[in-house]
Structure 1
Amino acid sequence: MKEREPCVYILSNGKHGTLYAGVTSDLIARLYQHRTGLIKGFTSRYGVARLVYFERFEDMPSAILREKQLKKWNRSWKINLIEENNPEWLDLAIDLGFERVKAR
């Protein structure tokens, strides 16, 4: 993965757990922020740090448009999207060089 690449991502705190959708131009840096609690708010409050889905885009406007679309989706649509691509809800961040997130 390139260092700077527009991405939409979904984090969870476990299979069928709390979901968070976001957008970034640097997925590695953003994951570090989420996983170390540097971003205060929803994700740190609920322990939402497992990367269960992400999409890469050519440009930020396209990624932002997709994030807005996902945020409007109901929960079951997001779960279906995750399970189509990651049926075991594996933490995809591990393949990007991160250690496993400790259970809360």
Structure 2
Amino acid sequence: MATYQAWEALGDPSRFAIVAALAERPQAVGELAATLPISRPAVSQHLKVLKSAGLVTDRADGTRRIYRLNPTGVAALRDQLDTFWARALSSYQEITEEEKP
């Protein structure tokens, strides 16, 4: 999974809303579409992008597919955010220590 691809996928408000909904619980396309202002086919297309980006996985449940967040993909995003945050804090610390008399 390319982390850039995952961030790019989350840049779309509908995909971000789908990820937020899947963070609550695994859901089928119909369940997701019922809570979003987009059609079922649009939800399916967004899920395809999210799956390609490594952010969601799916499993068959009869004739439906149940989608859930991919823990590996979400962990990669979190790791990257942790790295950014650590760098920002380190830079801030350096600046504040330089300003001390």
User: Could you say which TM-score interval applies, normalised by the shorter chain?
Assistant: under 0.3
* Higher helix proportion (structure 1 or 2): 2
